[in-house]
Structure formats: C-alpha cells, structure tokens
C-alpha cells in the first residue's frame, strides 16, 4: 500500500469512526478506499465549461450535428 493509499484508508477509517459506522467484513474502510481510488478523476473546470457551452450552442441550432462537425473541424485547425 502506497503512502497515498494509506492516507486515504486512514482518513476513511477515521471518518467512519467519527460517524459511528461499524466496519463489517463485507463493507469496511478497505472497500470504500478502493471505491475512492477507482473513481477519482481530476475536475478541470475549463474543459467542463467549454464542453457545456459547445453542447448548449449545438442544442440551440437547427443542425446540431453539422455544428459539432464544423466545430471539431475548426478546432483541429486551431
């Protein structure tokens, strides 16, 4: 277990303790730690914002598929 994984496991265990959640064989800190490790992704606001804007504009056009194709074409050309 890496230091990072150990810290997450420790934090999960401490949180469960503070909340009064009893660890069982089926669901313990290890399970929650694994779930957190597998589902972590960086949140990049600029990518989310531009994607949302592109989607909103496409939804408001008469030809959203053509808009998205042209957008991707122009983006590729920079």
pLDDT (tens, 9 = 90+) of the chain, 78 residues, equals 677 788 888 888 888 888 887 766 556 788 888 888 777 767 666 666 778 888 888 888 888 898 889 888 888 887
72 and 55 both lie in a single domain: yes
How much is the pLDDT for 30? 84
How much is the pLDDT for 29? 81
Domain count of the fold of the chain: 2
7 and 26 both lie in a single domain: yes
Taking the CA atoms of the chain, what radius of gyration do you get in angstroms? 22
Q: Which of helix, strand or coil describes residue 23?
A: coil
How much is the pLDDT for 43? 67
pTM above 0.85, yes or no: no
8 and 31 both lie in a single domain: yes
30 and 55 both lie in a single domain: no
59 and 34 both lie in a single domain: no
CA atoms of 47 and 25, how far apart (whole Å):
40
How much is the pLDDT for 1? 64
Name the residue range of residue 17's domain. Answer: 3-38
């Amino acid at each position: 277990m890496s230091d990072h994984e150990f810290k997450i496991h420790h934090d999960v265990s401490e949180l469960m303790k503070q909340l009064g959640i009893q660890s069982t064989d089926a669901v313990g800190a290890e399970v929650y730690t694994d779930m957190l490790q597998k589902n972590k992704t960086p949140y990049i606001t600029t990518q989310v914002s531009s994607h949302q804007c592109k989607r909103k504009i496409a939804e408001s056009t008469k030809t959203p598929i053509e808009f998205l194709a042209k957008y991707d074409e122009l983006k590729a050309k920079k």
